[in-house]
Amino acid sequence: MTVVGEVQTFRGSVAIADLGTTLIHEHVFVGDAELALNFPHPEWDEPTLVEEAVAGLERLWDLGVRTVVDLTVPGLGRDVSLVAGVAARTRVNLLASTGYYTADVLPPFFHANGPGLLVDGPDPLVEFFIRDIEEGISGTGVRAAMLKVVTDRPGMTPDVERIMAAAAVAHQHTGVPITTHTHAPSQNGREQLAFFTRRGVAPERLIIGHCGDSEDLGYLRELMDAGATIGMDRFGMEHVLPDDRRVKTVLELMRLGYAEKMVLSQDAAFFSRVTPPSWRSQHAPNWHMENIPRRIVPQLLAAGVTEQDLHQLLVLNPARLLTPASQSSPEDR
Ligand SMILES: [Zn+2]
């Protein structure tokens, strides 16, 4: 059972009060286990990348960052044993997550296993998510602290809806927050919020992710006015939207009084097979985990944001969201 007031990390539980400055949407390593076996990427050099991740997290500690949430869920090549080896060697708290990353379809296993399917039974996604949160991931004992789901350009496909329904059940059962990936031009955070609200998830327990890709204040305010927190979580992804425009949106929303409803992060990675380090260094040089402490925080301060505001965005909001809600009884499952 989750203890209220503590959050699970790769190294066991940590008091919420000790989370400190938190980057709530990052990735240590994004890969694909099956591709790695059959079509290895030339830039994936595990021992070197592990050293780079440890060194990078230690630099973050020196910059004041205390906690990084790894939102690499299955579908993005989650490898908890590998990341545990990184977590053991850094002072930064690393948090694991569960859920499933797909914009459209699940693997064939899920099309044959589940309610009303060939191998009939309860939805394995529900068992999977709850076990990750309550017992630990795949025998490692590392327990997930967040749920993550995705809608992108294809919208709410049947498999995406199934994942989201399973996440809602796992959330009700465990109290861990749900964070999302959205496709900002589709404004599908609205659809996610409506779906989860119908399933009894309090908007206050939701982070609608990748909202920083949007500059539509009406859309963003609608999500926050309904109770959700928005992820201004892609600083450095200047190939999607330049940082000065991301900063401008945050500043406008701060002036409008939304400091309690935003979290800042970068969606960066020490390695991603999707956009490997050689591509990132050429096309998105600011897309790394030090971008917020080194470039974005000074810009916000220069524009009049106070240290107290920064504490709200980077410490208090993540701590509030990561605090597991009180447990539901097993019969709600
Ligand atoms: Zn991400």
Q: State pLDDT tens for residues 220-269.
A: 999 999 999 999 999 999 999 999 999 999 999 999 999 999 999 999 99
Tell how far the Cα of 176 is from the centroid of ligand 1, in angstroms. Answer: 18
What's the gap in Å between 27 CA and the centre of ligand 1?
A: 6
| pLDDT on residue 265 | 98
Decide if 129 contacts 98 (C-beta within 8 A): yes
Distance, in Å, from the CA atom of 191 to the CA atom of 186, rounded to the nearest integer, reads 10
Q: What is the pLDDT of residue 2?
A: 40
What's the confidence (pLDDT) of residue 124?
98
Q: Are residues 235 and 266 in contact, defined by beta-carbon separation less than 8 angstroms? A: yes
Distance 286 CA to ligand 1 centre (A): 16
Q: Cα of 181 to ligand 1 centre, how many Å? A: 7
Structure confidence by residue, pLDDT tens digits, 32-49: 999 999 999 999 999 999
Q: Which amino acid is at 252?
A: E
How many angstroms is it from 211 CA to the middle of ligand 1?
12
- Residue closest to 159 by CA, chosen among 98, 78, 74, 102: 102
- Rounded to the nearest angstrom, the distance between the alpha carbon of 331 and the centre of ligand 1 is 33
**Ranges of the chain with pLDDT below 50:** 1-3, 327-333
Distance (angstroms) between ligand 1 centre and the Cα of 267 equals: 5
Ligand 1 mean position, distance from CA 293 (Å): 19
β-bridge mates for residue 226, sequence order:
none
What pLDDT is stored for residue 4 in this prediction? 53
Give the separation between CA 189 and CA 284, rounded to whole angstroms: 25
How close is the Cα of 251 to the center of ligand 1, in Å? 23
Using CA atoms of 195, 199, 175, 84 in order, give the dihedral in degrees to the nearest 10.
-50
Rounded distance from Cα 67 to ligand 1 centre (Å): 16
Gap from CA of 116 to ligand 1 centroid (Å) = 32
Is the whole-model pTM more than 0.85? yes
What distance in angstroms lies between residue 53's CA and the mean position of ligand 1's atoms? 17
CA distances (Å), origin 328, targets 16, 94, 176, 331? 20, 26, 11, 8
Distance 308 CA to ligand 1 centre (A): 27
**Integer angstrom CA distances of residue 268 from 245, 285, 331:** 18, 11, 39
φ, ψ for residue 149 (rounded to 5)?
-130, 170
Question: Which of 295, 242, 293, 287 has the alpha carbon at shortest distance from 269?
Answer: 287
Give the closest residue to 70 by CA, choosing from 54, 59, 60, 83: 83
User: How far is ligand 1, taken at its centre, from the CA of residue 309, in Å?
Assistant: 24
Tell me the CA–centroid distance for residue 70 and ligand 1, in Å. 8
